[in-house]
Amino acid sequence: MQVEFWGVRGSIAVSGARFARTGGNTTCVEVEHEGHRLILDGGTGLRALGERWGFRPLSATVLFTHLHWDHIQGVPFFTPAFHPDSDLTFAAADRSGQGIREALGLQMRPPQFPIGLEALVGAKRFVDLDLRSSPVSAAFEIGPFRVTPLEQDHPDGVVVYRVEAGGRSLVFATDTEHGGVRIDRALVDLAEGCDLLVHDAQYTTPEYRGEGGPPRRGWGHSTWGEAVQVARRADARRLALFHHDPTRGDDAVDAIEAEARALYTPTFAAREGMAVAL
């Protein structure tokens, strides 16, 4: 399984010299196994992925954790979606009840956008995941990928995923909030022994508490310290700090990475363009 980071930023895309080494695109992670592609989230990083692929047919599933802006804004700019021979599936659990097609269409509608969702002729399927049928959702399969979903605390809901293929495993846990008191046991269980844990690390603990700014409790994110705790308890083989705050320049990302490594050696800060073979 090959993992490539196309967008590692949270909340809103950023640009400028101070973000150059980390990257400014919002969340998008490509997972490839034996020619099959699963794309986790469609933030602005999805635009960059599409630019590299070009205007040619692409077969892939884009699986969303949730439908906040920073996870969908690449969709209207995803070049392969405009190719009629592409075979793209967009899938998400949408707590609003309107369905993913409608939810994605909302950002491609007057007065916000010049063209409609129907322009994406390569988008052949919109799949609404129904995770409400049982407290513990069943795993499902997308091509060679076995995907286990887990609902987490986040405004409007979020689903994190364990993805397994070829005997390797990735856990994609972005936009999850532990609440500053306890670590979510269900997430530790999901991540148990995984090869790579990609975990929300948007805040420092002082930021989360509201020192020098607004308190971030209830905003739906973790501190990097919580990401480390989940990785340690789950015995994840590697930890990628992810969903960097838009205020976080490269030097600050480096500093957090160094601090986190002192606590859990196999930690790195996810940076745009990084590829990891599992």
Residues that bind Zn ion (CB under 5 A): 10, 68, 70, 175
Residue nearest to Zn ion (CB): 68
**CB closer to Zn ion, 83 vs 178:** 178
Dihedral sign for Cα 271, 47, 29, 130, please: positive
What residues does 147 pair with on adjacent strands?
Answer: 140, 163
Identify residue 27 by its one-letter amino acid code. Answer: T
Would you tell me how many other CB atoms lie within 10 Å of the CB of residue 136? 10
**Contact present, 221 and 177 (Cβ < 8 Å):** yes
Phi-psi region of 81 (alpha: psi -120 to 50; beta: other; left: phi over 0): alpha
Task: Provide the minimum distance between the beta carbon of 134 and Zn ion in the complex, in angstroms, as a whole number.
Answer: 24
Name which of 70 and 195 has its Cβ closer to Zn ion. Answer: 70
Q: What is the closest distance, in whole angstroms, from the C-beta atom of residue 136 to Zn ion in the complex? A: 23
For residues 10 and 149, which CB has a smaller minimum distance to Zn ion in the complex? 10
Query: Using CA atoms, how far apart are residues 202 and 176, in angstroms rounded to an integer?
Result: 10
**At its nearest, how many Å lie between Zn ion and the CB of residue 10?**
5
DSSP three-state, residue 37: strand
Distances (CA, A) of 142 to 5, 56, 129, 278: 20, 22, 12, 18
Identify which of residues 164 and 175 has a Cβ nearer to Zn ion in the complex.
Answer: 175
Task: Tell me the closest approach of the beta carbon of residue 221 to Zn ion, in angstroms.
Answer: 8
Q: Could you tell me the smallest distance in angstroms from the CB atom of residue 268 to Zn ion?
A: 20
Query: Minimum CB separation from Zn ion for residue 219, in Å?
Result: 9
Nearer Cβ to Zn ion (65/169): 65
Three-state DSSP class for residue 230: helix
Instruction: Locate 36 and state its tokens.
Output: 């099959």
| CB closer to Zn ion, 4 vs 70 | 70
